[in-house]
Amino acid sequence: MKTVDLYIRVSTDEQADKGYSQRNQEEVLRKYCENNSLLIRKILFEDYSAKTFQRPQWNKYLSDLKRSKGKSDALLFTKWDRFSRNAADAYQMINILRMIGVEPQAIEQPLDLTIPENKMMLAFYLAAPEVENDRRALNVLYGMRRAKKEGRWMATAPFGYINKTTDAGKKFIGIKEPESNIVKWAFEEVSRGIIFPDQIRKELNRKGFGISRSAFYNLLRNPVYCGKIFIPALKNEESSIVPGLHEPIISDALFNKVQRVLEGNKRKARKELVQLDTNPEFPMRGFLICPDCSRMLTGSTSKGRGGFYHYYHCNLGCKCRFKTEIVHTEFEKELKRLLPHRSEGLESLAEVLLLNLHKAYGNQRQDNSRQLMDEIRKQNDRLSKARELLLSDDIDATEFKIMKMDCEKRIIQLESDLTDAKSNYSSAHSLELLFKRVVHIIPQLDTLYHTSSTAKKREIIGSIYPEKLVFDGKAYRTPRVNEAIRLIRSMDKSYRGNKNGNDALFLHHSRRVVPTGIEPVSKV
């Protein structure tokens, strides 16, 4: 009597738990063995795909066969697609089994493999399921691509969103709180260009977010967060971005600004960005430059008889070295000297300056918007002319494709700049409120700095000083400061020198718009 093993396979766990395929296969195989007087040695149940033979139960079975040659004469299954759906792998595995002394056979598609012509039928039985799989995969691919072109997100919802279904059964992604606020905060922090993106990621991880470096950068580059869907290139189709049907978490302007920051960081020297150093002993590490060799100062701690001593110092043979107590004390003196005095009169003068700035900025914004729209029209005209040249056979399809890509890329950039220009504009009322907050907070920055955490101190320093600081051991060399502080400080000096409040002094001030990048402004 021949001894046989039975192989029963389905593709997924769900089919194994809820379907009838496994039970049906077992029933058919057992009945076949009874009718043909075959002794069943082992029954194998598998719930893995047949695309490859990297299946847990199959690997165990193959190892068992190699250890116990001669105990089984054949391996039975219902159809060849239960054995494999890959012709090349199947031929190789058949040879391995036959070398061990086990003959594979499909009871519903029996073949005598000693007859050469039957190998043609075997090829058909193996190739047909593989073709069916490939066709199904292709249909799914094109179906998902069509859905993406219509603006639908076709995967598990990204962080900040959640998969939902309408009453009509349509699937979509909706905003999920508080994750969406985390995403928005990350984009806003990166867009400021002050702190390394990876340091922002680490700050999120300290709060329990838990994301890898590559995943964080993928998040920052994913247009889904500004309401867009990315469609990758396929064959002759170029990659593209289409408007999505879901609600955006951030604006187009913010997303584009982050992309420019990320691209700029590739070329930016490491010393130009601030790291979130949380060591409370060295809040100014990364902001100080050696007065002798112009290299960045670092910080370290040494142990002496009296305890631990902290220093900012240079490396690479330079002997520049300062005690942290002196550096910090002089910096707080410098900060206090820098800040203006708060007074009601100063706030009133600020409102006058605001109106002048708002008017100048409004005119400049309109001019910039007109220039951008004119340039967009020029690019569209260029694209139309290229299309006419293609239709008249003056250029070939390859040349047209290059010109089209160039024009479309330029148009996308111009439209992004136009969106930025419009989004950066605020009403006179909103600017007035913002400026009042700035005037109210800036005179108190020294107190705020003294009571803040290390990370917050570093943000304050980075917001006030756009360039690195130089400390010579006694005082700080006059650094360039944030434009908002410079303006308010100059107003303070003029106000104290002109008690009548004459606003003629504003005619001498810069007409640049006051930046809003001072960290305390956004936190109060």
Q: What pLDDT digit, counting tens, does each position of 375-420 carry?
A: 988 988 998 998 888 888 888 888 888 888 888 888 877 877 777 6
* In a domain? residue 476: no
Shared domain for 22 and 82, answered yes or no, is yes
| pLDDT at residue 364 greater than cutoff 80 | no
For residue 367, the tally of other CB atoms under 10 A from its CB is 10
Structure tokens of 19?
A: 């379907």
Shared domain for 251 and 196, answered yes or no, is yes
* In a domain? residue 329: no
* pLDDT at res. 340: 67
CATH number at residue 78: 3.40.50.1390
* In a domain? residue 44: yes
Q: How far is CA 282 from the centre of its chain?
A: 31
> 218-246 pLDDT, tens per residue?
999 999 999 999 988 887 777 888 889 99
Shared domain for 10 and 118, answered yes or no, is yes
* In a domain? residue 402: no
Rounded average pLDDT over 326-349 = 75
Domain count, the chain: 2
Shared domain for 112 and 179, answered yes or no, is no
Secondary structure letter of residue 498 according to DSSP:
-
* In a domain? residue 203: yes
* In a domain? residue 437: no
Shared domain for 78 and 188, answered yes or no, is no
pTM: 0.52
* pLDDT at res. 183: 92
Shared domain for 132 and 38, answered yes or no, is yes
* In a domain? residue 89: yes
What residues contact residue 34 under an 8 Å CB cut-off, 6+ apart? none
Residue with tokens 């729209």: 373
| pLDDT at residue 202 greater than cutoff 60 | yes
Q: Are 445 and 520 a contacting pair, CB within 8 Å?
A: yes
* In a domain? residue 430: no
Four-CA torsion 53, 58, 64, 70, nearest 10 degrees? -80
3 state DSSP class of 281: coil
Q: How far is CA 224 from the centre of its chain?
A: 10
Shared domain for 183 and 109, answered yes or no, is no
What residues contact residue 215 under an 8 Å CB cut-off, 6+ apart? none
Single residue among 238, 272, 306 that ends a domain in this structure: 272
Structure tokens of 294?
A: 């112009």
Whether omega for the bond prior to residue 178 falls within 30 degrees of 0, making it cis, is yes
Shared domain for 131 and 242, answered yes or no, is no
Mean pLDDT over the full length of the chain = 79
What's phi and psi for 147, nearest 5 deg? Answer: -65, -40
Single residue among 87, 111, 136 that ends a domain in this structure: 136
What residues contact residue 275 under an 8 Å CB cut-off, 6+ apart? 195, 196, 199, 286
Shared domain for 185 and 101, answered yes or no, is no
What residues contact residue 287 under an 8 Å CB cut-off, 6+ apart? 274, 458, 461, 462, 465, 468, 469
Shared domain for 121 and 210, answered yes or no, is no
CATH number at residue 235: 3.90.1750.20
Secondary structure letter of residue 307 according to DSSP:
E
Shared domain for 123 and 210, answered yes or no, is no
| pLDDT at residue 265 greater than cutoff 80 | no
Q: How far apart are CA 242 and CA 221, in angstroms?
A: 15
Rounded average pLDDT over 149-171 = 88
Q: How far apart are CA 190 and CA 205, in angstroms?
A: 15
* pLDDT at res. 352: 62
Structure tokens of 478?
A: 């006059």
195: containing domain: 175-272
Shared domain for 129 and 226, answered yes or no, is no
Single residue among 81, 105, 136 that ends a domain in this structure: 136
3 state DSSP class of 101: coil
